[in-house]
Amino acid sequence: MNKKINDLFFQKVFTKRTFLIGIVIVATLSSCSKNNDEIASETQTAALEVSHLKKGQLGGQEITYERKNGMNFFQGDIVLSDQQLTEESTANKGGASLYRWPNRTIYYTIAGNMGSINVNKINTAVNEYNSKTNTRWVLRTNQSNYVEFIFGSSNGSDGWAHIGYQGGKQTVSLDQYISVGSVIHEMGHTVGLYHEHSRQDRDQYVSIQWGNIQDGQAYNFNKYTSGTDIGPFNINSVMMYWPNSYSKNGQPTIKRANNTNFTYNRTGFTTGDINTINAMYP
């Protein structure tokens, strides 16, 4: 299939959160004669003036992330550990030896305040993983390394998750109105998948519409070049950003490489998603 993954096999994905205030209008208006990489770089540099944006190393690549509520958010809904942000790009760092779930098994529990509707969504998503991939999601008894599904916003439709195996207790947060497809997406981060749009080869398939991105959010569209793409790019991947993610004007922030719009519905796994996960967990 597709997807980017650390030395281990991690991939990439979605979000539409709005975190930052506008501070880069001048940089955008003055960049008409510059190429996309220059525009993205200048927009990101301006955004770094906001105090909660930080720079760190992920797999040896410098990235921009947001420090919020004591956690490190990358590309909106991926939570990185402090360890992941300080490791060098050495053998197995950020890879299979540290961040892949042992024995292909993810133990999990569900917070008591989750609500029956979201519990049903979690059960559906767990069944998708257990029936279609080599991973096994198993209800926790007394295991010390596990995932807890927690309740997020009562009026939102987003989520977030720690990326890969961290050890100890880690979290998947789900808002009240999140879809089953987006639950599968957040669980994809848990197994180690990053966002599809950040693959190294993405420019062959999609065009980032930098001028339509919310001020200060361009860093969420940077490529993650320290990983390895598995399989072909898949614009319908469950780990793909929406076409209008972080849009400031309702216009697409991602189009096909030929500058046409694409319609994307996050409903569940594609064959490519399944192949990628199974390559990670043979």
Which residues belong to the active site?
Answer: 186
Query: Token pair of 204, please?
Result: 């062959």
Rounded Cα–Cα distance for residues 65 and 224 (Å):
12
Query: Token pair of 191, please?
Result: 């197994």
Rounded Cα–Cα distance for residues 130 and 269 (Å):
12
CA quadruple 147, 225, 249, 25: dihedral sign:
positive
Radius of gyration of the chain (CA): 18
- How would you class 168 by CB atoms within 10 Å of its CB: exposed for 0-12, middle for 13-18, buried for 19 or more? exposed
Q: Does 195 carry a binding-site annotation?
A: yes
Report helix angle 180-191 to 271-280, nearest 10.
20
Q: Does 52 carry a binding-site annotation?
A: no
> What is the distance of C-alpha 264 from the center of its chain?
16
Q: Does 189 carry a binding-site annotation?
A: yes
> What is the distance of C-alpha 18 from the center of its chain?
15
> What is the distance of C-alpha 143 from the center of its chain?
26
Binding residues for Zn(2+), by number, are: 185, 189, 195
Binding residues, by number, are: 185, 189, 195
